[in-house]
């Protein structure tokens, strides 16, 4: 599989992802895995329309996303975007191996507390992050590619 970035970001596609991460990774495809967005035609249209025209951008629910990811070819350079770490835990349970997971944006909202600087997480989300690290994924906080990566495993202890 050719996953060049697996990212958690509440906002999914936005300026930082487009400019920094697309350039850094050389990605040619974006796969958004989010049940809510996949089931909302309007939301789906919005997130796919903000991606550059030369980048194939698709939105799937978890199950369909897992099947699509399993079918990636060597020529695919894919950025996977999800709003929460629970999505990546679900993908791992469906056989998707993730070497790295990047946290780019988990903003403050009800049920979340400050985790690191402007990153917030609920107890459940922290448990998901721990599951990812326990399963061998290197989970880091890195807003843009030029930033230093912060090891989440050290923050979970």
Average pLDDT over every residue of 67-72? 96
Least confident of 14-28, 61-75, 76-90, 127-141: 14-28
Q: For tokens 């992050």, name the residue.
A: 129
DSSP H stretches of helix in the chain: 15-16, 22-25, 35-38, 41-49, 62-70, 85-93, 123-134, 152-155
Catalytic annotation present for 14:
yes
Q: What is the architecture, at CATH level 2, of domain 3-155?
A: 3-Layer(aba) Sandwich (3.40)
Nearest to 80 by CA among 6, 156, 14, 21: 6
Q: Return the pLDDT at 18.
A: 77
Question: Residue 71: how many CB atoms within 10 A of its CB?
Answer: 9
Helices (H) and strands (E) in the chain, counts: 8, 9
Per-residue pLDDT reduced to its tens digit, 9-54: 999 988 877 788 999 999 999 999 999 999 999 999 999 998 888 9
Q: Which pLDDT band, with edges at 50, 70 and 90, does 142 fall under?
A: very high
Give yes or no for a contact between 31 and 58, defined as CB atoms under 8 angstroms apart: yes
Q: For tokens 């459940």, name the residue.
A: 124
**Catalytic residue of the set 2, 10, 14, 130:** 14
Q: Which pLDDT band, with edges at 50, 70 and 90, does 1 fall under?
A: low
The residue ranges of every structural domain in the chain are: 3-155
- CA distances 146 to 16, 17, 73, 74, 102, Å, are 11, 12, 28, 26, 13
Per-residue pLDDT reduced to its tens digit, 78-128: 999 999 999 999 999 999 999 999 999 999 999 999 999 999 999 999 999
Q: Return the pLDDT at 16.
A: 72
- Start-to-end CA distance of the chain, whole Å, equals 31
């Amino acid at each position: 599989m050719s996953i060049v970035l697996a990212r958690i970001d509440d906002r999914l596609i936005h300026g930082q992802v487009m400019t920094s991460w697309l350039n850094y990774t050389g990605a040619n495809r974006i796969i958004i895995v989010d049940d809510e967005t996949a089931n909302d035609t309007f939301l789906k249209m919005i997130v796919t329309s903000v991606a550059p025209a030369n980048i194939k951008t698709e939105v799937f629910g978890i199950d369909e996303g897992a099947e699509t990811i399993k079918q990636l070819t060597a020529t695919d350079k894919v950025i996977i975007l999800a709003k929460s770490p629970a999505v990546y835990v679900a993908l791992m349970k469906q056989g998707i191996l993730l070497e790295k997971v990047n946290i780019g944006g988990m903003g403050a909202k009800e049920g979340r507390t400050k985790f690191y600087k402007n990153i917030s997480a609920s107890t459940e989300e922290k448990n998901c992050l721990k599951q990812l690290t326990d399963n061998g994924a290197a989970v880091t906080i890195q807003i843009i590619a030029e930033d230093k990566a912060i090891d989440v495993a050290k923050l979970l202890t």
